[in-house]
Structure formats: C-alpha cells, structure tokens
Amino acid sequence: MLDRLINKNLLEWKKSPARKPLVLRGARQVGKTVAVRMFGESYDSFSELNMEIPENTALFKKGLKPREILQAIKLKQRIPVAETDSWLLFLDEIQACPAAVALLRYFYEEVPELHVIAAGSLLEVALQREHVSFPVGRIEFRYLHPMCFEEFLCAVAGKEMADVFQQIPSPGYAQEELFALYHQYALIGGMPEAVAEYVRTRDVLAVNRVYENLFSAYIDDIPKYARNDSMARMLRYCLKMAPLKAGKRIQFAGFGESNYGSREVGEALRTLEQVMLVSLLYPTISVSVPFVPSTRKSPRLQCVDTGLVHYVCGVQHDLIGIDDLSADFRGGLLEQLTGQELMASQNNLREIPVFWVRDKTQSQAEVDFLEMHESLPLPVEVKSGATGRLRSLNRFMEMNTQTKIAVRLYRGSFLAQNAGTGTSFHLLNIPYYHAAKIHDYMRIH
C-alpha cells in the first residue's frame, strides 16, 4: 500500500457539511481503487461493488429506491450497519452501469447521510456512448494521476526525505540527493504498481515487466470505447505513437510519420484524452489573464506517465546515471515531466496546462508553461544551465503588463535575481525537482 496525497483531499470531503457523492476519475491503474480502499479504513463500515460484475449491476437495474438498494447491499454483504455508524459505499468501474450513475443524484437527495464514492477510468466515453450524463450539481469530482515526485519520494526514500522535500528552498545538504531521486523518478515513473515493484526489487527490468503488462492492458481496453474496428485501429496507432512524441508539439495530419489525416488523428487523440491516457496542451497567444487556448495551433502532447513513455521508447539505459535531465537526447523529457507534476498537484480539477507562443510567424517565441498565481500570469521556462539565454521569456515579459515575476526550472540551486534585456523583471531560478512547489516559492518570496 503506497501513501497517496489524495487521502488528505478525501478526508476533507468526508468532513465537509456540503459533501455530495464523489466521482474519482483517472486513467486505469493510477491507483483509484487502492486509494479508496485505504480511505475506507477510516469508516465503521465499507462496502465495495465492482459494477463490471453482473450481479452487482443488477441491483441498480431493478427500479429500486436508494434506501432499498442500500438494504439489499447490507443483506448481500452481511453488513450490520447501525444507524450511528459511518458507512462508505464504493461503486467501482461505475461506467459499466449507467443506471448507477443516474442514481447518484438520488443518493444525494434521499440519503444525504450516506458517503458515496464512485470511480471509473472510461467514464466520459462510456457514458457518451450510452447518452447518459452526470447529475449536474448533485455530485463532485476528484482526479487521481500517477504518483507525483513527493509520493515517489515517500515510497522510495522514506518520509524523512519527503519532509525535506517540503522545505522551501531546499537545504543545501539534501539538494544533490533530491536531484538524483528526481532522475530516478523520471526513469521509473509514477504508476503505483511500477513504483511498488521498484521499491521491492530496485530492478529496472522488473519495472519493465510491469509496464509491458500495463501498456498491453491499455491496448486491450481500446475495443471498450472505440465505436468500430476502423476507429480501434486508429486509437491503437495513436496510443503506440504518443510516447514517441511526448513533451513535443505535434501536427495531427501525418501524426507519427503516417498517412492519416488531421480529422481522424484529432478524434483519436481527443478520445485518448477523455480516458486520460494523453493530454493535449494548447498554446495561448495572450500575455494576460484569462489565458484562452488556441485550438487552431499545434498542441504539445502530454502522456499519462513518464515511466511508461521511457519504456515504450526504449531509452531507459540513456537515463541511468544521468546528471541533468535537460541534456536528454530526445528532447521534451523535462516538459513531459514538468507537465505531469503540475497536473498531479491538482486533485480538485483536471486542469490542463497551457504554454505561450508569440502570434507572429516571422518571430518565433515560446514559453514552456503559463501558470496563474493569485490571478496574475506566471511564465515558467524549463532550461538548463545557471544563466541560459531566455529570449522567449524576455519577449513575454516585455509584452505583458500584469506581472514582473517569472520562473525558470533548471539544474541548480534556488536563486532570485533581476533579469531582462529590455523590460526588467524578477526571475526565480528553482530546482526542477520542485516543479510542483512553484506557487510555494511565490508565496514566500
């Protein structure tokens, strides 16, 4: 059992007087079921129903009222739940039973004292196919991603090192060890089964067997959400090609050196995005909030997990012993890893990062990420070296009028300095292993 940061979020949900049935979303095998089971230990009673099992699904297809369904569950599982007991009902793989999705609103309205969590990996696609919608205003969502670096640290190096990671800025004595562990994280990734296998064996080959089975399972899942054989072939192709393009901007037409057209590739990648195996990060041309993604421009492709990316690409041997991730030969590694960290830091919503490009064809400029801090734009560059050239960042800071602070993630110690070739601004140089802590640096600076 690996500790996950989502547990704190779930405890806040449990204590909330405005609590609604919760739907936990995430790609397959990111640890949703295990996280809920661990959370279930905080209740007097815990009931788990896998909705892919026909006899469980049948309970929700009989037209029973919510309290009648609960009585049937108590009898079926022989649970002596007293009126004063806390009880968590967990409906796993709920997309397999649209009737259960529709009943979530009635649990909220008719049995408000019951705590209900549902989970599913193929929710959006499955419900779209069945023409079923979520009961808006009657449920809430949380999102679970692969393990972030902080969770990886706790599992691999222990809680003491994870506590050191919390210090802003990092103490000098721990910095090199944190870089080395982050490089391990880049190699192993954050899929819980892979991390658990690495903790057990410290063997990358053993981890590869996990990723081989995991990637095969993702491929085998495709018929569950492809509407026909032609779309299934397209989805398989795009899923196999996606890791090769992770962290890079892509064109839909001819994706992966194919003859496929923009329309079919776009549909396939958006479907893979719905099941949370990829994310399409679109650029914005805005230098001030709100950031409106420009879907007519080429997106950057983000894969679900960096460990899976490196397994599929077959480049793990190049990462063993690497001292600077920005020196990665294939490019895009740090962008992929930083995007993964930024997304994993948000459990309350699925927030896809954006990046900035200058809207002039004759003058190329691109900033890797554009965050928002206290309603102000915060440009973030991922660069190597202590004093690398930051032409795009300088151009962004010259054009924006809302903020005078920018961030660079790099292979070095924390350093705050004045910068700017035209417009002066404050540059926070932050170790790239602290990508998820950017906003903490902003708050203390």
The reply to whether 347 and 386 lie within a common domain is no
Instruction: Quick: pLDDT tens for 158-204.
Output: 999 999 999 999 999 999 999 999 999 999 999 999 999 999 999 98
The reply to whether 49 and 132 lie within a common domain is yes
pLDDT surpasses 60 at 386: no
Rounded Cα distance, 33 and 13, in Å: 17
Q: Of the ranges 118-122, 164-168, 237-241, 325-329, which one carries the lowest mean pLDDT score?
A: 325-329
- Domain-ending residue, one of 352, 367, 389: 352
The reply to whether 184 and 268 lie within a common domain is yes
Q: Of the ranges 73-77, 138-142, 317-321, which one carries the lowest mean pLDDT score?
A: 317-321
pLDDT surpasses 70 at 400: yes
- pTM surpassing 0.85? yes
Give the mean pLDDT of 230-240: 96
Give the 3-state secondary structure of residue 299: coil
Q: Is 258 within 8 Å of 308 (Cβ atoms)?
A: no
- List the domain range (segments joined by +) for residue 393: 357-444
DSSP letter string, 16-65:
-TT---EEEE--TTSSHHHHHHHHHTTSSEEEEEETTSHHHHHHTTS---
What is the pLDDT confidence band of residue 6, given thresholds at 50, 70 and 90?
very high
- Domain-ending residue, one of 110, 143, 176: 143
The reply to whether 123 and 244 lie within a common domain is no
Instruction: Give the number of residues written for the chain.
Output: 445
CA end-to-end span of the chain: 37
Q: Of the ranges 294-303, 405-414, 416-425, which one carries the lowest mean pLDDT score?
A: 416-425
The dihedral formed by the CA atoms of 155, 306, 31 and 433, expressed in degrees to the nearest 10: 40
Q: Which region holds residue 202: left if phi is over 0, alpha if psi is between -120 and 50, else beta?
A: left
What is the pLDDT confidence band of residue 383, given thresholds at 50, 70 and 90?
confident
- Domain-ending residue, one of 322, 352, 382: 352
Instruction: Quick: pLDDT tens for 35-63.
Output: 999 999 999 999 999 999 999 999 998 88
Q: Of the ranges 102-116, 129-143, 413-427, which one carries the lowest mean pLDDT score?
A: 129-143
Q: Where is mean pLDDT largest: 56-70, 145-159, 372-386?
A: 145-159
Total domains present in the chain: 3
Rounded Cα distance, 24 and 37, in Å: 13
Give the mean pLDDT of 100-112: 91
The reply to whether 53 and 178 lie within a common domain is no
pLDDT surpasses 90 at 324: no
User: How many other CB atoms are there within 10 angstroms of residue 229's CB atom?
Assistant: 9
